[in-house]
Amino acid sequence: MEAVNNRMMCRVLLFVLCLSLVLASIYGRVLQYAQPNAVGISSERLGFLDEVIREAVSTGEIPGAVALVARKGKIVYRKAFGFRAEEPSLEPMTLDSIFDVASMTKVMVSAPLIMLLVEEGRLSLLDEVALHIPEFGKRGKREITILQLLTHYSGLRPDLDLKPYWEGYDKAIRLACMERPLEPPGTRFIYSDINYFILGDLIQRVSGLPLDELAQKRIFRPLEMTDTGFKPGRDLLGRIVPSGQRDGKNVRGEVHDPTSHRMGGVAGHAGLFSTVDDTAVWAQMILNGGAYNGTRVLSPLSVNRMTTPQFPREGVDWRGIGFDIQTRFSTARGDLFPVGSFGHTGFTGTSMWIDPYSETVVLLFTNRLHPNRNGNTVSLRQRVASVVAASLVDFSPGREYIRPSY
């Protein structure tokens, strides 16, 4: 009998140990929960989010959404709304849905990888791009710097022409290298995908690794962002949110962006897939000055450069390295978060906004392009951010961000 009891005790201890390891793994990579009032948020005010997002679904603005709000490292709101897919059959949206985050690739992949190469002394933000990509230095681009690409002050136009038809990663780089700036470099903010797929190519040349492999090695794997990456496997297809149509068929599991798609799905400007949970971990890493759960990804001073204005003296559009701060694209800030907060949006309907003063993260992931619509989420993003900001009841923003002197 004693032997039987000992075996039972061993099994119980083994079960407890395994459960502890599983829970440690889960809570190591996902932000923990807290009641809103425990972190200075009014539950009543935050509750208006339900009405705002449900109205957007009911009016057909979006088929569905996943929203997450975190403050001081704790999730206080995390809900799914509507449908992940409407065609060919209805699928309810779920919290673990995987989204094509589109241009959020720029800030979640390319910008931090550039900063990691800077930290290692392998390049400088003030390097001319042609130092690393010699063929880029043609047709008025010789003096364009890495920093100008990062902040969209290169003068290059928004994207390549899709006609006449072209295909291939190398072809896109060759076409970009033949571009001529629309404006003198360093003089005007022009949001450009060309800037970032050139940065993606530069990262690969300097690091010696493909962009997707380096992102997994240096960012996603250390942060245990297991649902984040390029070109997701078919085993994840059921959780992936469709994004519009291509050639009359729903785009699902492939990047929506036409240029990234023609480049093979891995590019510095678009192609990343992620969930709100994984993105919340990434955002908290930024709020923590480059570290999360004991793992350091970036140095605090790298995060500072990423999240403060890096514009020329005469600039009026405020961009950090990767991050948007105050431009016409800053709608995800809403009406109440102070200038000096930062974030990014994605064409597919995703957005992230981070306020370092109140330690708040707002994520709104929608499928506005599905099945064959072009829903406008600008107003929805603004209203969501404003509701969240208004729910902060223990915080006074004080003075807004003051432009630094150069």
Mean pLDDT confidence for 254-275: 98
Average pLDDT of the chain? 91
- The CATH class for the domain spanning 32-104+210-390 reads alpha beta
**Which of 273, 275, 257, 243 is closest to 86 using CA atoms?**
243
Burial string for 347-383 (b: 16+ CB within 10 Å, else e) reads bbbbbbbbbbbbbbbbbbbbbbbbbebebebeebbbb
How far apart CA 195 and CA 183 sit, in angstroms, is: 14
Q: What is the amino acid identity at position 144?
A: I
Summarize pLDDT for 141-188 with one digit per residue, the tens.
999 999 999 999 999 999 999 999 999 999 999 999 999 999 999 999
Domain ranges of the chain: 32-104+210-390
How far apart CA 209 and CA 193 sit, in angstroms, is: 21
SS3 46: helix
Alpha-carbon separation of residue 286 from 218, 354, 381 (angstroms)? 14, 9, 21
Q: In this structure, are residues 355 and 60 in contact, taking their beta carbons and an 8 Å threshold?
A: no
- Upstream peptide bond of 371 is cis (omega within 30 degrees of 0): yes
Q: What is the amino acid identity at position 296?
A: R
**Which of 101, 100, 92, 88 is closest to 63 using CA atoms?**
92
pTM of the predicted model over 0.85: yes
Summarize pLDDT for 342-371 with one digit per residue, the tens.
999 999 999 999 999 999 999 999 999 998
